[in-house]
Amino acid sequence: MDLMKNEAYLQCIIPSCGKKYDTSEIRTTCDCGNLLDVKYRRAFNKRLTYIFFARKNPLGNIFNESGVWRFRELVNFTGYDSEDYDNYSRVFVSFDGAEGRTRPYEMTKVAEYVGMPRENVLFQPEGLNPSGSFKDNGISTGLTHAKMLGVKEVICASTGNTSASLAMYVANEGIRAGIYIPKEEIAPGKLAQAFQFNADIYQVNGNFDDALEVVLRKGRKGAYVMNSVNPFRLEGQKTMIYRVLEHLDWEVPDWIVFPRGNMGNCSAFGKAIIELYEWGWIKKKPRFVAVDAKGSNTFFTLYNGFYRNEPLRWNNGNVNEELIEEYYAYLEEKGWKPKTCATAIQIGRPVNIKKGLRSLDFTEGISVEVEDSEMEDGVAVVGSNGFDCEQASAACVAAIKKLVKGEVIKRDDKVVAILTGRLKDPDTIVRYHSNRENRFANPPRTLNP
């Protein structure tokens, strides 16, 4: 096949600008201030799906074991031929092939809880990744870009999972990770990972949005930023969708459900779907469901027009920036801060908001919100199927239940949800299960010896 090699470039996401840049630049934004996409000069042929499948027998190649690099043609911005092992193995970053090896699963008890037949609602537990969250998909490709450019230090702001993943992945690459985390607002297990993997940790007095501002400021001065504004990171996150579709024999589900944080996933998933659609691999579009935590529902509010009665839309790149700024200023004035038990998605100002809007526009997506208690119940129900996920991930379970009840999702629709991360704060679970008032509490029985 002549499709193994492809050239990549960066391009401004706003159609009326469309300015292009070389992939050798360290930049996350266009001169006009908007974000960038990685673009490929040629389309890809669907026959590649046979190759992806064949690589499931890895034949000793860790880049076939990896559920990111198994799809390497579709995320290969390096310019190396995807079959030229000697060359690509020098730059592709992988945790020994361990990332991205999950796929959608049926979970009988969760299906019953949300009110759907078990075969119609599938859950992809990205917590099974080496660092315990979906981030490993994107850190492997993002770091590949940094490595190509000979970067020696990368930085990120984080609600905990990005920093854990980054710290883990740089550990064997001779690169330092500077991580900026909101003080006392991340799960202890995530902080422990950053310590354990020997990252340089900076605790920011403020919340995630404040920490990200610090990092983006450094980025404008030339630092290499590994947050999801990094378009190379989002390339790796596309593979979550490839694994969903591969599992379904490339038949598109009706709905894809995921939590909304900084909208990196919303952006990456949308890019995956848009590209596959443009290349003719899929004929149907799934509808996206982006789920906000109620205590952090800025996107939900804007998208559904609950601020100024004006729904925020992609509008072919003419996003109403004034509306966003005015809303944020209004919240600031009120002294409102995002607050939810799902700290991973406690994000008031999603930095990928425009890309996220583009994805929802293409997929006729919707935005919903769920309560903390609903997420906590969701964690417990997922647990009863032998899987664990954190509160942010369980937002999907709560959202599906709500949408099935409201008959937005029909019982015979096909739904896939991404359970984005493993639980890294066991205290919250012990507390939940110890309190008999919680719906799925499983308190211990006391015995006298």
Interface positions with ligand F0G (CB under 6 A): 133, 158-162, 228, 259-266, 344-345, 390, 392-393, 420-421
Shortest Å distance, C-beta 193 to ligand F0G: 11
Q: What is the DSSP string of 365-381?
A: -EEEEE-HHHHHHHHHH
Shortest Å distance, C-beta 299 to ligand F0G: 9
Shortest Å distance, C-beta 424 to ligand F0G: 9
Shortest Å distance, C-beta 423 to ligand F0G: 9
Say if residues 201 and 157 touch (Cβ distance below 8 Å).
no
Choice between 70 and 190, CB closer to ligand F0G: 190
Choice between 133 and 140, CB closer to ligand F0G: 133
* Cross-strand bridge partners of residue 224: 154
Evaluate the CA torsion angle 215, 217, 218, 220 in order and state its sign. Answer: positive
Q: What residue spans of 279-371 are helical by DSSP H?
A: 298-303, 321-334, 353-362
Choice between 73 and 292, CB closer to ligand F0G: 292
What type of residue is 161?
Answer: N
Count CA atoms within 13 Å of residue 183 on its CB side: 5
Shortest Å distance, C-beta 272 to ligand F0G: 13
Residue 188: strand, helix, or coil: helix
Distance separating alpha carbons of residues 263 and 189, to the nearest angstrom? 23
Question: Who's near 161: CB < 8 A, 6+ residues apart?
Answer: 131, 132, 133, 134, 135, 190, 344, 420, 421, 424
Choice between 160 and 365, CB closer to ligand F0G: 160
Choice between 130 and 259, CB closer to ligand F0G: 259
Residue whose structure tokens are 């038990």: 341
In what order do the strands lie in the sheet containing 8-12?
20-21, 8-12, 36-40
In what order do the strands lie in the sheet containing 287-293?
105-106, 121-125, 415-419, 255-259, 287-293, 366-370
Shortest Å distance, C-beta 437 to ligand F0G: 26
Distance separating alpha carbons of residues 147 and 124, to the nearest angstrom? 29
Choice between 48 and 164, CB closer to ligand F0G: 164
Shortest Å distance, C-beta 228 to ligand F0G: 6
Choice between 94 and 161, CB closer to ligand F0G: 161
| Residues found in the chain | 449
Choice between 161 and 385, CB closer to ligand F0G: 161
Shortest Å distance, C-beta 56 to ligand F0G: 26
Name the burial class of residue 405, with classes exposed (0-12), middle (13-18) and buried (19+) by CB atoms within 10 angstroms of its CB: exposed
Written as six digits, the tokens of 315 are 């509008």
Count CA atoms within 13 Å of residue 113 on its CB side: 25
Shortest Å distance, C-beta 264 to ligand F0G: 3
